[in-house]
Amino acid sequence: MYYIIALVALVFVVLTVVVVSRLQDVLKRVKKPEAEDEVPSGNRINGILFLVILVFGTIAITWSYLDSTQYYLPEASSVHGRRTDDLFWFSMGILTIPFIFVNFLIFFFAWKYQYKKGNKAAFYPDNHKLELIWTIVPAIVMALLVFTGWKAWSDITSEAPRDSEVIEITGKQFNWIARYGGVSDNKLGNYNYKLIDAQNEVGIDLSDENSFDDFTNPSELHIPANRPVLLKIRARDVLHSVFIPHMRVKMDAVPGMPTKFWFVADKTTAEMRAETGNPKFDYEIACTEVCGQGHFSMKMRLVVEDEASYKKWCAEQTTFLQTYPEYLAKVPDNLKAKAMKNLPADVTAPADSSKTATVGGSVGTSSSLR
């Protein structure tokens, strides 16, 4: 223990000697009046290097910007997307102008006012007018940026128009499932996570008559062009995030906390294929929240089509009850007749809804368990 204390004391003594010796050098230089007229070594070279860095830095930044344009988001294909892009470039312009101006002055002044014999610095203890200018002007600019951004975000997240096409998209490891409200009323039925099983992947609640014409699609999402689309977003297991680059749509899918996003797509898939000259072009929905080992594969094809084509596609889809008629057992008795209207003629209602069985969390009639 004593050896450690002695070693630490020795280290402090050495450090003290070093500091005192350096302090003596500083004091000697301060006492020399002629030191003020000595030009520091490398003074002119350092000043020139500031100009060199300014020139080459400007060239490097410009090249970096032009070279990285290929990695920017694609041109927006939605109304709010172009508005968002305009706000982004407006903000970038407002911020880039003072960035260039201030940095130019920093490097230029370092060269212009380098040390020279006989030069005396002028000091301004205070300048109220100057301080007012550089306080008020940035405050006004920041207020403008905040207000325009807030207004755009408020419009995007406001209540969707009444004529919106309502579609639910649910994220699960590792794919998306789209649910549509049918073609008759555009109303999604209720859901309940307790009803989720191997077939009913999103927990469609068949005690709600609006669910009778609901249909799902786990492979692609179809939406109409030039009409508001309201996406009701859910997550079944962990945190996901809906991202449609061309539409500038991005919203987290949070378990137990439904979110939403509405937008208007104004370029169909066919129009984009013609515009890009790529016959294989497709819009894509991606997940931008790391959700597990299969996160990289969690994407869905988005098809934007005209109103007539969209309605035709919806009419061709098979409802959930048509796909799994055994789930009629989950329909309340007073609604079974209504539920069966859209079913094939050879499907009959279960004679006794109490004769249902549960296997591995899947609910159905005995005929569905063969």
- Taking only the tens place, the pLDDT of each residue in 283-310 is 999 999 999 999 998 999 999 999 999 9
pLDDT of residue 253: 94
> Can you say whether residue 361 is alpha, beta or left, with left for phi > 0 and alpha for psi between -120 and 50 degrees?
left
Instruction: Give domain status of residue 182, yes or no.
Output: yes
- 64 and 211 in a single domain? The answer is no
- 197 and 107 in a single domain? The answer is no
Average pLDDT of the chain, as a whole number: 83
Q: Determine the structural domain holding residue 198 and report its residue range.
A: 165-355
| CA dist., res. 217 & res. 310, Å (int) | 14
| CA dist., res. 10 & res. 16, Å (int) | 10
| Size (the chain), residues | 370
DSSP per position, 133-184: HHHHHHHHHHHHHHHHHHHHHHHHTSPPPTTPEEEEEEEETTEEEEEE-TTT
| pLDDT digits 0-9 by tens, 320-366 | 988 898 888 888 888 888 878 767 666 665 655 444 433 334 334 33
- 179 and 258 in a single domain? The answer is yes
- 275 and 171 in a single domain? The answer is yes
pLDDT of residue 63: 92
pLDDT of residue 249: 92
| CA dist., res. 356 & res. 328, Å (int) | 11
Is 39 in contact with 115 (CB distance < 8 Å)? yes
The secondary structure element, H or E, covering residue 303 is strand 299-305
- 325 and 223 in a single domain? The answer is yes
pLDDT of residue 337: 84
Q: Which of these ranges, 161-165, 223-227, 264-268, has the smallest mean pLDDT?
A: 161-165
Per the model's pLDDT, the better-predicted residue between 225 and 9 turns out to be 225
- 105 and 172 in a single domain? The answer is no
- What is the number of domains present in the chain? 2
Q: Give bridge partners of residue 171 from the DSSP assignment.
A: 176, 235
pLDDT of residue 365: 37
Q: How many CB atoms lie within 10 A of CB 349?
A: 15
Q: Which of these ranges, 3-12, 80-89, 111-120, has the smallest mean pLDDT?
A: 3-12
- 109 and 195 in a single domain? The answer is no
Q: Which of these ranges, 139-143, 146-150, 361-365, has the smallest mean pLDDT?
A: 361-365
Is 265 in contact with 304 (CB distance < 8 Å)? yes
- 228 and 337 in a single domain? The answer is yes
Instruction: Give domain status of residue 63, yes or no.
Output: yes
Query: Over 50: is that where the pLDDT of 40 sits?
Result: yes
- 210 and 286 in a single domain? The answer is yes
Q: Which of these ranges, 119-128, 209-218, 273-282, has the smallest mean pLDDT?
A: 119-128
pLDDT of residue 134: 82
Query: Over 50: is that where the pLDDT of 256 sits?
Result: yes
Counting runs of H as helices and runs of E as strands, what totals does the chain give? 8, 12
pLDDT of residue 364: 40
Instruction: Give domain status of residue 154, yes or no.
Output: no
Instruction: Give domain status of residue 35, yes or no.
Output: no
Structure tokens at 214: 């609901």
| pLDDT digits 0-9 by tens, 52-69 | 998 998 999 899 989 998
Torsion angle of the four alpha carbons 323, 326, 332, 335, in this order, in degrees rounded to the nearest 10? 50
Return the percentage of the chain with pLDDT > 70, whole number.
Answer: 82
pLDDT of residue 19: 63
Q: Which of these ranges, 38-42, 47-51, 55-59, 115-119, has the smallest mean pLDDT?
A: 38-42
Instruction: Give domain status of residue 28, yes or no.
Output: no
| CA dist., res. 127 & res. 135, Å (int) | 12
The maximal CA–CA distance of the chain, rounded, in angstroms, is: 111
Instruction: Give domain status of residue 253, yes or no.
Output: yes
- 315 and 176 in a single domain? The answer is yes
- 61 and 169 in a single domain? The answer is no
Per the model's pLDDT, the better-predicted residue between 186 and 198 turns out to be 198
- 346 and 237 in a single domain? The answer is yes
CA distances from 166 to 86, 160, 183, 222, 254 (A): 28, 9, 11, 11, 19
CATH classification of the domain holding 311:
2.60.40.420
Instruction: Give domain status of residue 340, yes or no.
Output: yes
